[in-house]
């Protein structure tokens, strides 16, 4: 035991030259990766601008970086951009929380009740394999042309997969860990709260990461069809706006939400 | 020594759609207060099943189990059960792992922390109080698991091949450790193992089970002529080899009949 302690302290005090060299190599490699990433991005944008400028690329369909920039600036100035981004963000967050809440709650209920899980299993699999974007028109007829439809569409994209994945993770907890709780005098509730949930925190978090993307896609699909505002609505709104917003949706929004969530998880 | 545990003609079968698996058949034996009982048997003969029955996790198909003359369900006695692996929860540190049982039974008080500190101190774990299981050696993990069980103040301690996950050298050390702790806390213990030497070195009495469905083949009282007995010292007792041969024959005989 004492030997282990000494090892730890010697590691943190004097760093050998080999260790320094290793760290230096690591830093260099990280920097090189970053540089390549930036070069690819700049290259892509320049190529796009040049080909659009000389008419190689149909600039009506594909627009061009400079025009995208102009649109962003003018939309930003009029406050329109923030408004629509905000709407989509809000709808995404609401769907995201609903998906996670429903997913975890239903997975727990299915884990708790074996017969119920067997009864519902085929239905869940069918619902999960349905093309959810094709259901959106059904939701419009059912719920009307409003935000409710968008949220329901987004939730339907992610919720069934979440339930199935989490339920399977819950079920695959080692049998002996459950036995341990029973040997310590615990009941099913103790098993749930002291073993099943805590041992599945990593899988819940990785499911949440997947759900951010899925909720966003679901919301945008919903907005294509049923919205009066939001990025999905903008994409439909005009071909000029099309490319610009497409980029925003694809890169900026999920990226910032991912970063926010990662920050949250690290705390 | 008075009789603490009485296993009275119990049988147990597992049921599945493929059929019935008789795991134990007509098993009877007694355990005295303060005794260290070893049970050996071929793998799959129902040893773990027997402990689950004593711990009340399963109910016997026939027969009864009594503690102090009362049926096990109504005796109100605590039974400590150590599983084959330590099963420390890796998201809890040593202290939180040790308190798991107390938390579940709502018995965690300020007083328990005094007792926990004492135990961690005595068994060389105090500096690892805030360490996570992955930072502990196999032997330390086993001791944490034992303290977790001991804190519930069990009247009987059930040990299901507690050393089988350890390498040979650690195994000898940990056997000494755990045996010392159990003796010091004056606990009655039942140790399951398929390692004959381990059973002889630790137990006062060894019961040999037949292969499945398990039933009591023979009982050996272990009397070793050494002073200051520890499991390790016991291995060099002159009688050790004789016991080993007798038990080995009994187990082997049993296999041939199969
Ligand atoms: N849950 C179960 N369902 C069906 N059969 C089981 C179950 N658990 C154990 N068995 C069978 O019962 C027998 C005894 O098991 P066990 O008590 O674990 O043996 P041991 O601990 O002696 O190796 C084995 O043959 C095993 O296959
Ligand atoms: Mg076993």
Looking at residue A9, what is its pLDDT?
45
Token match 């050696």: residue?
B137
Predicted confidence at residue B56, as pLDDT, reads 87
Domain with A196, as residue range(s), is 68-266
Asked whether residue A102 falls in the same domain as residue A210, the answer is: yes
Subunit contact B100:A184, Cβ cutoff 8 A: yes
Same domain, A178 and A93: yes
* pLDDT tens-place string over residues B116-163: 998 898 888 899 999 999 999 888 898 899 889 889 888 899 999 888
Of A57, A77, A96, which closes a domain? A57
Are B209 and B63 contacting, i.e. CB atoms less than 8 angstroms apart? no
CATH code, A179: 1.10.3720.10
Q: How far apart are CA B156 and CA B138, in angstroms?
A: 24
Asked if B89 reaches chain A (Cβ–Cβ under 8 Å), the answer is yes
Residue nearest to atom 20 of ligand 1 (CA): B44
What Rg, from alpha-carbon coordinates, does chain A have? 25
Residue with tokens 């009594």: B66
A25 part of a folded domain: yes
Q: How confident is the model at residue A245 (pLDDT cuts 50, 70, 90)?
A: low
Cis omega (within 30 of 0) for bond into B213? yes
Classify residue A261 by burial, with Cβ atoms within 10 Å: 0-12, 13-18, 19+.
middle
Do both A33 and A94 map to the same domain? no
Tell me, yes or no, if B104 comes closer than 8 A to chain A by beta carbon. Answer: yes
A241 within some domain: yes
ipTM over 0.90: no
Asked whether residue A181 is assigned to any structural domain, the reply reads yes
Choose the closest CB to B152 out of A176, A184, A199: A184
Looking at every residue in chain B, the average pLDDT score rounds to 87
How far is Cα A108 from Cα A96, in angstroms, rounded to an integer?
Answer: 18
- The two beta strands, B36-40 and B62-67, are unpaired
Number of domains chain A is built from:
2
Whether A62 maps to a domain, the answer reads no
Q: Is B209 a pocket residue for ligand 1 (Cβ < 6 Å)? A: no
- Which residue from B38, B45, B17 is spatially nearest to B159, judged by alpha carbons? B38
DSSP per residue, B148-217:
HHHTT--SEEEEESTTTTS-HHHHHHHHHHHHHHHHHTT-EEEEEES-HHHHHHH-SEEEEEPSSSB-EE
A180 chain-B contacts, CB cut-off 8 A: 83, 87
Poorest-pLDDT segment among A7-11, A230-234, B105-109? A7-11
In this structure, the answer to whether residues A159 and A222 fall within a common structural domain is yes
Q: Per residue in B19-44, pLDDT tens?
A: 888 999 999 999 998 899 999 988 88
Per-residue pLDDT of A184-218, as tens digits, reads: 988 999 999 999 999 999 999 989 888 888 888 88
Same domain, A77 and A45: no
Domain assignment present for residue A177? The answer is yes
- Residue B182 Cα to ligand 2 midpoint, Å, equals 21
Do A173 and A113 reside in the same domain of the chain? yes
Examine residue A63 and state whether it is found in any structural domain, yes or no.
Answer: no
Taking 80 as the threshold, does the pLDDT of residue A265 lie above it? no
The pLDDT value recorded for residue A219 is 87
In this structure, are A108 and A217 located in the same domain? yes
- Which of the four pLDDT bands, split at 50, 70 and 90, describes residue A246? low
Residues A218 and A152 both lie in one domain: yes
Q: Is B113 in the pocket of ligand 1 (CB under 6 A)?
A: no
Whether A41 and A78 map to the same domain: the answer is no
**Whether residues A39 and A146 fall in one domain:** no
- Angle, helices B168-184 vs B138-150, to 10°: value is 20
CB contact under 8 A, A184 and B105: yes
Contacts with B187 (C-beta within 8 Å, 6 or more apart), sequence order: B34, B80, B150, B154, B156, B157
**Cross-chain residue pair A183–B55, CB shorter than 8 Å:** yes
Q: Is A213 a member of any domain?
A: yes
Is A18 inside any structural domain?
A: yes
Quote the CA–CA distance of B233 and B22 in Å, as a whole number. 39
Q: Min CA distance, B103 vs chain A (Å)? A: 9
Whether residues A44 and A72 fall in one domain: no
Lookup: tokens for A256 = 């910032």
pLDDT of B123: 81
Which residues of chain B are within 8 Å of residue A195 when distances are taken between CB atoms?
89
- The predicted-structure confidence for A144-179, as pLDDT tens digits, reads as follows 888 888 899 899 989 999 999 999 999 999 999 999
Could you tell me what percent of chain A has a pLDDT over 90?
36
Residues A35 and A79 placed together within one structural domain of the fold = no
pLDDT per residue over A46-69, tens digit each?
Answer: 998 899 888 887 776 677 778 777
**Contacts with A142 (C-beta within 8 Å, 6 or more apart), sequence order:** A149
């Amino acid at each position: 035991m004492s030997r282990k302690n000494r090892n730890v302290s010697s590691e943190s005090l004097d760093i050998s030259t080999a260790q320094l060299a290793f760290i230096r190599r690591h830093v260099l490699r990280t920097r090189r990766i970053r540089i390549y990433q930036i070069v690819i991005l700049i290259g892509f944008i320049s190529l796009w601008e040049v080909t659009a400028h000389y008419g190689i690329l149909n600039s009506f369909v594909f627009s061009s970086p400079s025009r995208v920039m102009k649109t962003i600036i003018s939309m930003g100035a009029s406050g329109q951009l923030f408004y629509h981004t905000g709407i989509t963000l809000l709808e995404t967050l609401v769907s995201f929380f609903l998906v996670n809440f429903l997913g975890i709650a239903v997975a727990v209920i299915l884990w708790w009740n074996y017969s119920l899980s067997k009864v519902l299993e085929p239905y869940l699999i069918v619902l999960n394999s349905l093309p959810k974007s094709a259901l959106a028109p059904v939701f419009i007829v059912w719920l009307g042309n409003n935000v409710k439809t968008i949220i329901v569409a987004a939730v339907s994209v992610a919720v069934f997969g979440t339930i199935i994945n989490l339920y399977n993770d819950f079920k695959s907890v080692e049998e002996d860990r459950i036995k341990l709780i029973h040997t310590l005098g615990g009941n099913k509730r103790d098993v749930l709260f002291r073993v099943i949930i805590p041992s599945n925190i990593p899988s819940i978090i990785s499911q949440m990461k997947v759900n951010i993307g899925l909720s966003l896609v679901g919301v945008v699909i919903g907005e294509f069809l049923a919205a009066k505002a939001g990025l999905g609505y903008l994409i439909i709104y005009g071909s000029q706006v099309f490319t610009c917003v497409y980029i925003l949706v694809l890169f900026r929004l999920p990226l910032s939400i991912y970063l926010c969530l990662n920050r949250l998880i690290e705390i | 020594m008075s009789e603490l545990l009485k296993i009275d003609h119990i049988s147990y079968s597992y049921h599945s759609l493929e059929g019935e698996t008789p795991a134990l058949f007509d098993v009877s034996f007694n355990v005295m207060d303060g005794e260290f009982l070893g049970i050996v048997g071929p793998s799959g003969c129902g040893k773990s099943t027997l402990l689950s029955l004593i711990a009340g996790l399963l109910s016997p198909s026939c027969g009864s189990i009594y503690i102090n003359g009362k049926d096990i369900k109504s005796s109100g006695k605590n039974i400590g059960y150590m599983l084959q692996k330590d099963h420390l929860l890796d998201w809890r540190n040593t202290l939180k792992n040790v308190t798991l049982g107390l938390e579940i039974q709502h018995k965690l008080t300020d007083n328990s922390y005094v007792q926990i500190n004492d135990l961690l101190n005595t068994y060389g774990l105090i500096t690892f109080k805030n360490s996570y299981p992955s930072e502990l050696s196999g032997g330390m993990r086993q001791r944490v698991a034992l303290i977790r069980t001991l804190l519930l103040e069990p009247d009987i301690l059930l040990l299901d091949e507690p050393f089988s996950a350890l390498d040979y050298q650690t195994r000898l050390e940990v056997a000494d450790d755990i045996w010392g702790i159990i003796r010091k806390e004056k606990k009655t213990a039942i140790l399951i193992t398929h390692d004959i030497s381990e059973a002889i070195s630790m137990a006062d009495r060894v019961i040999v089970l037949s292969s499945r469905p398990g039933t009591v083949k023979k009982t050996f009282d272990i009397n070793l002529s050494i002073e200051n007995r520890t499991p390790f010292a016991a291995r060099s007792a002159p009688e050790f080899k004789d016991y080993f041969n007798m038990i080995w024959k009994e187990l082997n005989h049993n296999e041939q009949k199969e």
